[in-house]
Amino acid sequence: MKLRQATRLTLVEQVVVQIDELIQSSEWPVGKRIPAEPELVKQLGVSRNTVREAVRALIHTGLLEARQGDGTYVCSSSELGAALLRRLRRSNIAETLEVRYALEQEAARLAAVRRTQEDIEVLRECLANCSSAKDVEAYIQADMELHQAIVSSTHNGFLADLYEHMNEAIKISIGSTVEYTVLSELHEDLQQHDKIHGDLVTAIINGDPEASASAVRTHIQLSQNVLLEKDNKEK
């Protein structure tokens, strides 16, 4: 196969690169509505057709989403996140959570082996935020930050990116429905949930991979029991 001569980026490709950089840098975060087409034309100094083609290309990759009558929104911070979102939309909640929990168990094991003193301080702070949360929504946010911190403690960049983008896709595809359902049901007894978190963080700090994974499994079982009980009540 013959190699073709390299060509300069077209105007459309240049606009795509600029928008992609804004998204990846979180200057345009997930969920944000991007500027309207006339504003983009003005800022970029290109034609309306160029902007339109660039936005269409990014919609095709899954980074942007056009909402009829409401504008265009950022729906993923990377092509990996966009691909996960497309796949998650073909999966049910049970399948999605099984994959997420599988990642969390291995992350807990690795974190117990690789965590640094700085990681330990972050984990303790996240644990304290869970305990001091004033309502369920605040608890959900603190809970997700704790689990993300655990994954970050593995110092495996690929795993951290995969987990972050998977959570991002879950929030978009099913929202915080699962977390909210579980924690709402447990709202009268969040001490049980806090204890599991405490056991998990303690096991990681103590450098015990098996105890860390066991704490995650306990967390999974608790969540599954609540969802199963709720499902049975609705039948």
The domains found in the chain, sorted by start residue, are 11-77 (1.10.10.10), 81-234 (1.20.120.530)
Whether residue 235 has pLDDT greater than 50: yes
Q: Is 2 exposed, middle or buried (0-12, 13-18, 19+ CB in 10 A)?
A: exposed
Per the CB < 8 A criterion, the answer to whether 28 and 67 are in contact is no
How is residue 195 annotated by DSSP? H
121-173 pLDDT, tens digit each? 999 999 999 888 887 778 778 888 999 999 999 999 989 888 887 776 666 55
Residue with tokens 């997420």: 100
What is the rounded CA–CA span in Å between residue 19 and residue 27? 10
Kind plus residue range of the DSSP H or E element containing 178: helix 177-185
Confidence of residue 4 (pLDDT cuts 50, 70, 90): low
Question: In whole numbers, what is the pLDDT of the chain averaged over residues?
Answer: 82
Q: Of the ranges 23-27, 79-83, 224-228, which is most confident? A: 23-27
DSSP 3-state of 153: coil
Joined tokens for residue 166: 């998977």
Whether residue 221 has pLDDT greater than 80: no
Per the CB < 8 A criterion, the answer to whether 15 and 46 are in contact is yes
- Per-residue pLDDT, 62: 84
Confidence of residue 2 (pLDDT cuts 50, 70, 90): low
Per the CB < 8 A criterion, the answer to whether 225 and 132 are in contact is no
Read off the pLDDT of each residue in 174-196 and give the average, rounded to a whole number.
59
Which neighbouring-strand residues pair with 72?
A: 66
What is the residue-wise DSSP string for 48-105? HHHHHHHHHHHHHHTSEEEETTTEEEE--SSHHHHHHHHHHTTS-HHHHHHHHHHHHH
Share of the chain above pLDDT 70, in %: 80
- Per-residue pLDDT, 107: 95
Per the CB < 8 A criterion, the answer to whether 180 and 139 are in contact is no
Whether residue 176 has pLDDT greater than 50: no
What is the rounded CA–CA span in Å between residue 164 and residue 78? 11
Which neighbouring-strand residues pair with 33?
A: 73
36-76 pLDDT, tens digit each? 999 999 999 999 999 999 999 999 888 898 998 899 999 87
